[in-house]
Structure 1
C-alpha cells in the first residue's frame, strides 16, 4: 500500500521515534548540563541572535526536507523562525499530543502569527483555538525496543492476573479512582491501581485506602505494557476538559482489551462497541457484571489501522490532496 506521506521528505522533532526512508527524527535541542540549560534560558530572554547553537545537528540538513513536524515540547517561536529562515518553502506543523496550560510557552497563541500550521489530538482545543484535528497513533511506541519486546512477549502465566487496571497521575482523579475501585471490588473483581502523586499537592489527610494506591515513583512504559497484558479491562479517566483519544483508548485497541472510560465522546469513533467499552455515567451499573464476564469482540483490522503511525502521517497530506483535487476540477 502506498501512503500519501511517502511523496515527501519529513523531519519529526521532539516527538515520534519511528523513522524510515521518508521520515527522520531528532530532538530539537542538544543534551545539556544544568549550567548549559540555564544559559539557554537566559539566551531566550536576550535580544541577541545565535539561538541555533542550542539545536541538534538536524539544523545542518533542514534544507533537505519539505515538511517538519514539531511536537508540543518546543519552548518558543524561535525554532519556527529559524526553520523558515533556513528553508522558506518548508511546511511547518506543530502537533499537540498533550494539553497545554493557559500561560505555557507552547500555547498556540504564541505561534499563530508565524508560518506554521497548528494541529491537535484534542477536539475541544481545536475548536477553541482554531487548530486542525488529527488523532494520534499508538504503534509509534514500538520504536522503543524494550516496549516492543514487552508487547510481543504477551501475558506472563506466572504473574498475577487482575480484572481491571488503571495507571496515571493524580490530576484531581483520586476521589474518582477510589469510587471506581470500590464499585469493582464490590463485584469481587481484582483491581490494580497505580496513581502517581501530583506535584505541589498535599496528601497529608489521605485515608489508608488512598495511600495504598498512591506512589511517588514513575513507572516505565515497558512495565505498563506488562501490566496491561495481565488485565482483562483497562480503566481510562480523562483530564478535566479533555476531548480526544488517550493512550488508554489506543491500548485497548492494540491489546484487544476491554475499556472502562468516562469519555462519552468515544461513542463517535468507528471502533466503539458496547460489548468492549463501558462508559461511566452513561451505561447503567447493572450492565457492568455482564460486561466484565463477556469476551472481547474483535474490531475490524481496517479500523485499527487508522491508529497506526503511517495513517497518522498520511492525514497531514490527504486533506491537502483533496483541496488540490477540488481546485483542479473548477
Structure 2
C-alpha cells in the first residue's frame, strides 16, 4: 500500500481526513527544524549541506525514528514537507531520500516572509530535485512553482450563540495600523469587535480556541500581509463555518465561492454599507463548491498515484 509521508502538517486540519484517505498518510513532526541545544545548533550550522555527511551525523540533528521513515520510503510512496526553507538542510538530506520517490514542499505563507532571497533560494531547492508547490497562484507563477491552493476542513460542531459581530486574530506583522483603523470604523457603526492581536506568547490562542471564537462571530476579518494575493485560511474558515467575510484581498472575486452578499472587499465596496452587509443574510454556496476546498480533496495533489486515480495535475493555477 503506497504511503504519503507528511512532515509538519497542521494536525487540527488533518484530523478532518476521512479514514479511507488517512490510512495512506503518515504524519511526522517538524523534525527538520533548528535543533534544541547550543552545540547541535552550532554543528548543524557549520556542517549541514557544506560537505557530504554520513547518516550517523544526520541522526544527531534529525531524530532517527522520524528521519528513517522518509529515507526508507518505497517506490510508489511520496513525501510532503511543509515550509522547508533551509537550503543547506535540504541539500544534506537529499542524498538519502529514495530515488523515484517524489518529495514535495508546500509553502503556505508568502515566500517573501520565508526567504531572504526567494528567487535564488527556491531555484537552489528546485535544483536539488524537490518539487515546489504554493498556496498562492501569483507566487507560483512568479517563481515557477505548482499551485495547490488553500484548504480547510469541515467543523465538527458549531455553537448556537453569537458573541461578536466581527472577529480577527493574528500577529500584528505589517498590519497593526490597518487593524486599529478598521476596528475604530466598525465600532463607530455600532458593531462589536473581538480582536486578538497577541504581542507575547501568553496572549496567543490555541487553534481550537481560535476556532471557537470564530464560530461565535458573524463576520471573519481577513487582512493580508503586504504583497500577498493568495488566500489566507480565513476565507475558507468563513466559508466552512458559514460566516461573512471582510477582506482586503481583491483577488477574492476570482474564486468560485465568492458572493457579494457574503464577502465585503475593503477599498472596493462602500464602507457606509458595512453594518448592512454584516446584518444581512448569507447567500447560499453550493456544497460542491465548499467540498472542493476540503482537506480530503486538497491532499489528492500529493497522494501517490496508485492510491489516487483521480489525482489532480500539479500545474500553475488559473483561477
Q: Same fold (TM over 0.5)?
A: yes
Name the counterpart of 1:61. 72
Name the counterpart of 1:113. 127
Within 5 A, what are the aligned runs for 1:172-321?
172-197=174-199, 217-316=203-302, 317-319=311-313
Name which of 2, 9, 15 aligns with 2:9.
Answer: 15
Name the counterpart of 1:71. 82
Distance of 1:80 and 1:24 partners within structure 2:
23
Does the CA-based 8 Å contact 1:84-1:115 persist in structure 2? Answer: no
Name which of 34, 52, 62 aligns with 2:58.
Answer: 52
Name the counterpart of 2:103. 92
1:156-205 CA deviation, whole Å, 9 max, x = no partner? 64xx711001111112212111111121111111111111339xxxxxxx
Does the CA-based 8 Å contact 1:165-1:191 persist in structure 2? Answer: yes
TM-score by length of 1: 0.77
Distance of 2:314 and 2:95 partners within structure 1:
20
**What SS does the corresponding residue of 2:174 show, helix, strand or coil?**
coil
In structure 2, do the counterparts of structure 1 residues 104 and 169 end up closer, same or farther at CA, with 3 Å as the change threshold? farther
Q: Which runs of 5+ in 1 are unaligned?
A: 1-6, 143-150, 199-214, 322-330
Number of paired residues?
287
What is the deviation of 1:276? 0.5
Distance of 2:44 and 2:288 partners within structure 1:
46
In structure 2, do the counterparts of structure 1 residues 216 and 241 end up closer, same or farther at CA, with 3 Å as the change threshold? farther
Q: Which one is further off, 34-43 or 272-281? A: 34-43
What is the deviation of 1:98? 1.2
Does the CA-based 8 Å contact 1:70-1:95 persist in structure 2? Answer: yes
Q: Which one is further off, 255-264 or 71-80? A: 71-80
- Cα root mean square deviation, aligned: 2.8
Q: Which one is further off, 96-105 or 290-299? A: 96-105
Distance of 2:95 and 2:195 partners within structure 1:
46
- Determine which structure has greater relative contact order: mean sequence separation of CA pairs < 8 Å that are 6+ residues apart, divided by chain length: 2
Does the CA-based 8 Å contact 1:11-1:23 persist in structure 2? Answer: yes
Q: Which one is further off, 219-228 or 306-315? A: 306-315
In structure 2, do the counterparts of structure 1 residues 311 and 179 end up closer, same or farther at CA, with 3 Å as the change threshold? same
Distance of 1:156 and 1:44 partners within structure 2:
52
